Amino acid sequence: MRNIGLVVVLVLLGACASMQQPAAVERMYVINCGENHVKDVSLWTPGVNVEKPHVFGNHCYLVRHAQGWMLWDSGNADRIAALPNGLANPRGTITAFMRKPLVESLKEIGVAPADIRHFAMSHAHGDHSGNANLFSNATLYIQRAEYAAMFGPEPVKYGFLSTNYEKLKSGPTMMLDGDHDVFGDGSVLIKPAPGHTPGHQVLVVRLPKAGPVMLSGDMVHLVYSWENRVVPSFNFDVAQSGRTIDAMKEYTARTGAQLWINHDMEQHARIPKAPAFVQ
């Protein structure tokens, strides 16, 4: 009986302690960071939707943590906002749009690029690294394999445009070889999710009300891809991409984390956008 009483007291003390602590992650802003119009979405969904055009959304995520601001992904380049017809890739299969520069969206929230002390990208493709140079004074959290591809001899081989992110090379960098707890309190976790690119990663944010949310990067592009374990044929490693999906399905099932899929416009239509925020 005495032991049970002690357990009850400890549980109550624990509950009080957690009630008194300020939430580590206070809120998160989901920012519209452009659109990518494609002529044939079957490149992303091999076997279905042949020659069907599609509009992919594109988002950046700004996390307000008690220890400071963190930005995840940096969207299409702000300079694209000056091009009313967007910017097409050389083969004309994708046209990128940026209706409102990221800098303007941040300003509406009351944040300047220099206020952001922590920066990470899911990977270095142009729709995620477009504005990376703005955040070269923040600490960059990156998997070693991605960094090697970005700053190695052949970034083009991985579909990277090095001018998008070249300033990051001289900035503070936290080189990762796996999982990383950004603030040391379990509230913001980087997890390696390779396959789309060599060092692709995802972010898990513990929101104070909504609970854990995994931000997909390009692990999958659509809810369809997640449900059917489908990845683009142009991924760096298709088999590894499938294993990553399996591992993240296990993780989300075990932790109850929701998966928010960066490019799925339909799914994101239900999520409030900046300057509103989610908790």
Chain residues that interact with Zn ion, rule: CB under 5 A: 127, 218
Q: Minimum CB separation from Zn ion for residue 112, in Å?
A: 25
Single-letter amino acid, residue 266 = E
Nearest to 67 by CA among 18, 9, 125, 115: 115
Strands 139-143 and 173-176: parallel
Q: Residue 84: CB partners within 8 Å, gap ≥ 6?
A: none
Q: Minimum CB separation from Zn ion for residue 44, in Å?
A: 10
Radius of gyration of the chain (CA): 20
Nearest to 193 by CA among 176, 168, 171: 176
Closer of 65 and 123 to Zn ion (Cβ): 123
Q: What is the number of other CB atoms lying within 10 angstroms of the CB of residue 11? A: 10
Q: Minimum CB separation from Zn ion for residue 58, in Å?
A: 7
Closer of 25 and 218 to Zn ion (Cβ): 218
Closer of 96 and 106 to Zn ion (Cβ): 96
Distance CA 264, CA 241 (A): 18
Burial of 2: CB neighbours in 10 Å, binned 0-12, 13-18, 19+: exposed
Closer of 183 and 224 to Zn ion (Cβ): 224
Q: Minimum CB separation from Zn ion for residue 181, in Å?
A: 25
Is the separation of the CB atoms in 226 and 183 below 8 Å? Answer: no
Q: Minimum CB separation from Zn ion for residue 273, in Å?
A: 18
Q: Minimum CB separation from Zn ion for residue 196, in Å?
A: 8
Closer of 65 and 78 to Zn ion (Cβ): 78
Closer of 131 and 187 to Zn ion (Cβ): 131
Distance CA 209, CA 261 (A): 19
Which tokens go with 48?
């279905």
User: Taking the chain, what is the end-to-end CA distance rounded to the nearest angstrom?
Assistant: 41
Is the separation of the CB atoms in 222 and 264 below 8 Å? Answer: yes
Closer of 78 and 127 to Zn ion (Cβ): 127
Q: Minimum CB separation from Zn ion for residue 24, in Å?
A: 28
What is the SS3 assignment for 164? helix
Q: Minimum CB separation from Zn ion for residue 80, in Å?
A: 14
Nearest-10 Cα torsion for 42, 44, 45, 46: 70
Closer of 64 and 263 to Zn ion (Cβ): 263
